Structure 1
């Protein structure tokens, strides 16, 4: 936790990323958005090497444009693709990787700050919440309890 605190003070944001495995997709998420008055972000299904810079880009978009409506889009996050931002409840994220974000936010008393999932489309530009999305793309971005 000390490394996270030092990095947060220096950069204002930390982005842990996990490669996935054991039936779970890769995941990356931000810690520190709440401390700046902005949502934290989570992104599933993208390898860590691409997810971390994508979330850095996404956080820049959020800082410039927040607040915005659910499923807001941006073409400045993932090279060559639009992404969409979906509101999710922290309680929807019964996922081991959100433990650090939750612990940090509760400690800093920012647990009510919004959390946004960064959604990316299939090769035809169809998003997981839209009909016709490739089943594999939709499945790796699915959050249990939320309808894609």
Structure 2
């Protein structure tokens, strides 16, 4: 990527954040990594950022917007279940993110020293078991835990 592209892209993200309070950054997956989406700028109004992985980025973007809406009056807590956001009665589970290393656009917008709480919304396997449980049938690469 050229320097001009990055400068323009960061400026675009800043405009979206200014207008909507946050932006959702998509990272496309490949044969070695799952796609994921994360918020940039949400910490300014809510005190934290969100990430999801392992599904099509368009689906992830929609779910992240729903999670943001759900937390309009409360904050996430560890192992907090979220009902009603996925089809077939599946729920999401909130977990704290261990490392911010994957969130390069957050650092591009707010600087390399940015340190904010990040929450990952994880989805279960077909049996309702989350990837935080060793009995989850999803392969590790399907929905990596950040």
Alignment of 1:77 with 2:79, yes or no, is: no
Q: Report if aligned partners of 1:58, 1:76 keep a CA contact under 8 Å in 2.
A: no
Structure-1 separation of matches of 2:29 and 2:120: 17
Alignment of 1:23 with 2:32, yes or no, is: yes
Structure-1 separation of matches of 2:131 and 2:91: 13
TM-score (norm 1): 0.81
Within a 5 Å distance, the mapping from 1:50-69 to structure 2 comes to 50-66=59-75, 68-69=76-77
Q: 1:47 to 1:133 in 2, by over 3 A?
A: same
Structure index of larger Rg: 2
Structure-1 separation of matches of 2:51 and 2:15: 21
The Cα RMSD (Å) is 2.0
Which consecutive unaligned segments of at least 5 residues does structure 1 have? none
Q: Report if aligned partners of 1:34, 1:105 keep a CA contact under 8 Å in 2.
A: no
Deviations 1:18-69 (A, max 9, x none): 2300401011000111111331011110111100000001111223221x43
Within a 5 Å distance, the mapping from 1:86-125 to structure 2 comes to 86-89=95-98, 92-95=99-102, 98-106=103-111, 111-125=114-128
The count of aligned residue pairs is: 136
TM-score (norm 2): 0.82
What stretches of structure 1 move > 4 A for 4+ residues in a row?
A: none
Tell me the CA shift for residue 94 of structure 1.
Answer: 3.0
